[in-house]
Chain A
Amino acid sequence: MREPIVINNLSKYYNKFLALDNLCLKVAQNENVGILGPNGAGKSTTLKILCGLIRSSSGAAYIDGINVADRPERALSRIGAIVETPEFYPFLTPEETLSYLGRLRGMRGDGLKRRIKEVIDLVKLEEWITVKIEKFSRGMKQRLAVAQALLHDPPILILDEPGLGLDPRGVVEFREIIEGVGKEKTVLFASHQLIEVAQICNQVAIIDHGRLLAYDNIDELEKKYQSLEHAYLELTGGSLE
């Protein structure tokens, strides 16, 4: 069976800075994989290439066997994504924003309205559905970002630090949401939070300087390095002190 996400010898230069260095990664169907790495390791760059936001310098990224660089629209139709800390049009309401994004993906009518209500309920923004987003806090926007990623019920989720800006309760709720929907989806999830990754994902890819340092089951990494924290620090050259 073809893996939903395949990253093949991906390299990316920002001028002379090498952000990704021949990165290879395959994510199997319904696997939840966390990408861990220090700042500047290449996590966001990898996810942005998968989302068609930037182009790789060499190598290729595939979504369901579709080369993202060659046919971005077809590849993007299969994913729901949160990249960095996204912003929304301040003059629109969550209902209008989700309606806009849903219609761009071919959703319409009662089906779209029903789905908007479902995802708004899921992220607990019911009371804010007709309020302009200009009045929203960072955490509320992040909840809306989760809602738009799930709106079209995509088989693949690509999430870049999706818990950023959420209050502690929001973080817990977010983890529960992703844990729930992640059972039936392929999830690639970049984060700095080891606890978050350990809770949501069953596999972890640790990268640094654009290179893949380890890619294994969390249990295996814990056996080998005592804990996920030890594995992360040892592989990325940090210390436990």
Chain B
Amino acid sequence: MERFQYTRARTIPEAIGIGAQATTAQQGAPVRFLAGGTTLVDLMKLNVEHPTRLVDINHLALNAIEHMPDGGLRIGALVRNAALAHDATVMKDYRVLSEALLSGASAQLRNVATTGGNLLQRTRCMYFRNTAMACNKREPGSGCSAIAGDNRSLAILGTSPQCIATNPSDMNVALAALDATVQVQGSKGERTIPFRDFHLLPGDTPHRETVLEPGDLVTHVTLAAPRAGATSRYLKLRDRASYEFALASAAVIVEVSGGRFGNVSIAMGGIGTKPWRMTAAEQALAGAPVDEATIVRAAKLALADAKPQSENGFKVELAQRCLAHALRLATGMAAS
């Protein structure tokens, strides 16, 4: 077994101070914050991550769900997935988030996994998790085994010749649709990052997954006040009924009035290298009549830029159908 130093941080500045000693906060970071550990410990056992220092942040006061004066919610980074999913306000006003959380992992994992951790959940691409295989995300420059390998479950949007791994988080898809913001404290102070800017495309640096720098600690995720009259849903398609990652998923937030779509927010999961916002489809829907033709047209438009890999061509149609059905559910055209 590989040795590492374990520190229980008593304060946020202490955690940040230790984190800032590292050279990177990305793949292979020598210092890692330990929250739920559901991804990190797994990857350490698989020899994918080798931190020499673990900073346990579980005792920091970051586990509250706070109602903000503007009607929004501020979610502490240590709020467990189960607590967030079952929070009364989240269930009522942010149904898409509750449904997304409950569609992920298992009850036991959701009891432990945290909001901040899920934000940073690592890909389930099996080539990333198998040290016998080449992977640019795990070992920059080593190559991508997935492109010529078993890529059925991998991405069709946002890929690069270096990496086609999907972001596996369901919560992230809902947060993308909700236009969440991520609050970070670092050695240079506090900053707020719009959700769409938080995750990075793989490009030539797939080992860089977020904008976080050494010492950066995610403290909160903030949601704006719920849009009056909007309905939201999360639909996840997968190979079996539970404990499985999405082949395609859709988070939709829909306003309807007078038989026409108002503002619509759409994000999709299981198909992108990061949580994928569908702006073209959103624009096509806004102001259009709520009917089958509109929905199908928008779903097609959403996937217009998809670039399937050798074995996941089916995902294009599956994702279109997923989005169309999520829109039917949110508009009451179909019952769940």
Whether A and B are associated in the same complex: the answer reads: no
- Partner-B contacts on A (CB < 8 A): none
